[in-house]
Amino acid sequence: MTDHERVNILLVDDQPAKLLAYEVILKELDENLLIAASGREALECLLKNEVAVVLVDVCMPELDGFELASMIREHPRFQKTAMIFISAIQVSDLDRLRGYEMGAVDYVPVPVIPEVLRAKVKVFAELYRKTRQLERLNEELEVRVRARTAELEHSNAKLIESEQRRSLAIAAGKMGSWDWDWASGDCMWDEGQFQIFGVDPRSFRVTPANVQPLIHPEDIDELRKALAQFAKGARSYEAEFRIRRPDGDMRWCFGTAAATIDGGGRVVRLSGVTVDITERKLAEQRQNLLAREVDHRAKNALALVQSIVRLTRGDSVSAYIQAVEGRISALARAHTILALSSWQGAELGRLIVEELAPYQSGGQIALAGLEVQLQPATAQTLALALHELVTNSAKYGALSSLSGRLSITWGMEAQDLLLEWKEWDGPAVQKPISRGFGTRSVIASIETQLGGRAEFDWRPEGLVCHLSVPLNAAVADSIATEYVPGDNEVTGRASVSADA
């Protein structure tokens, strides 16, 4: 037996002869024998060593065996330490009971029979040794369990992290995955699949009967043909199809599927991925529409330019060129505003500001009105009409002098867009004998092209012009905000709220 396997046995007796006798008897056990001549020495020895068995005499001066046992048991380290009492006097059952209550595991009477004492100490020494070995094994097992648990937790954390990344990637890509047991018909969807189909995973049961109504009727036959191809030995399939969500929203999807085949060549399982490609489809449709729209608008713009060139009059070549350039510039400004809104429409306030931009200094101009979003065709036509009014005012009206003032207000009444152009404090005004080209252009634009009405009131203090355009022709959208000109725009207050 090696040293590290030996256990400590503490012999406690106030008589050296007895201690020597105990040593001789227990020497054959090949254990470490510790000697204490009093209870005090025994306690000091216990505090310094791990002891398997304490062999203690009941009758000792100062501190007898019962008192020593009580003190030993009060210490947390020694609550399970085996103690054998040796008594030279006849002990009663009451004394024995007291000893057992103090923690004794056995009694040995005097005279001591060596074989009996040796056998009893050996049993408790072996029990202590096996207990310590079991504790070490338990500790090693706990260490291994903790290490294995840590490995599993780490692996599980990595798996969860990987699944989260996959879920995020699927969610970001608007993707979903599914798995279908060909034999049993059991089908599994992940969260992305439920999101694409717009159904609640808590209440929607994934079965062919429940999924079929979500497939667009025009695409269901193609999917059935795909299943038939798998039954004939196909390994994979991909297609675009449409779904109708329970809320009525239609989505375009791209689906891929792959088959798992058993040893007999039969389909066992289908697995696949569904991608929501609605945005891509809408982008393709917008692109096609845009191409057609650009072609249409280009033709319309050329027609407008051709009309401007054909109808413009001038007293001289330079006057003609100036008039044509002015009108084409007005058209270009309207196109710029329309381009900023992707040709969805043009704000009336912005259109007016752009036409009046060259005359913004001096605080001569005031604007007020609801901001109206005009349809593209209406914006182009109204821009030309405003250009004619601005040009005439700059030549002959309020904008031709620093003292002149111009007020433009607009709003809606019933189904009409109303705009008032009012000048004052400029040169004296006389009603013209005949309508000039600018006036005729305004009337033609408003009345002929937009189906509205243009009225001119040539007052001595300045021109007052009222334009009326049918609402359904002029207004494209409604916004409830306040229109405020920018740093480079005509100053003035205009509230915004209109509808198309």
pLDDT at 3 over 50: no
Domain assignment present for 303: no
Domain assignment present for 243: yes
Structure tokens at 166: 């996959």
Residues 38 and 131 in one domain: yes
Domain assignment present for 440: yes
C-beta of residue 222 within 8 angstroms of C-beta of residue 238: no
Planar angle of CA 79, 81, 82, nearest 5 degrees: 130
Domain assignment present for 292: no
Residues 87 and 202 in one domain: no
Residues 345 and 459 in one domain: yes
Phi, psi of 312, deg, nearest 5 = -70, 140
Residues 33 and 84 in one domain: yes
Domain assignment present for 329: yes
Tens-place pLDDT, residues 307-345:
455 545 566 767 667 666 665 666 566 567 666 655 567
Q: Which of 37-46, 297-306, 327-336, 343-352 has the lowest mean pLDDT?
A: 297-306
Q: How high is the pLDDT of residue 384?
A: 79
Residues 208 and 348 in one domain: no
pLDDT at 491 over 60: no
The domain that contains 241 carries what CATH number?
A: 3.30.450.20
* Final residue in a domain of this structure, among 138, 162, 190: 138
251 versus 387: the higher-pLDDT residue is 251
Residues 320 and 220 in one domain: no
In order of 52, 56, 179, 204, 342, the CA distances from 184 in angstroms are 65, 76, 12, 19, 53
Residues 332 and 474 in one domain: yes
Alpha-carbon distance of 201 to 207, in angstroms, equals 12
Residues 266 and 316 in one domain: no
How many domains is the chain built from? 3
* Final residue in a domain of this structure, among 91, 109, 138: 138
Residues 357 and 469 in one domain: yes
The domain that contains 25 carries what CATH number?
A: 3.40.50.2300
Domain assignment present for 143: no
In order of 24, 228, 343, 444, the CA distances from 294 in angstroms are 116, 45, 10, 26
Domain range holding 233?
175-276
112 DSSP assignment: P
**Segment of 159-163, 263-267, 299-303 carrying the highest mean pLDDT:** 263-267
Q: Which of 73-77, 364-368, 444-448 has the lowest mean pLDDT?
A: 73-77
For residue 10, the tally of other CB atoms under 10 A from its CB is 23
Alpha-carbon distance of 296 to 174, in angstroms, equals 35
Residues 350 and 394 in one domain: yes
pTM recorded for the entire structure: 0.37
Q: How high is the pLDDT of residue 500?
A: 24
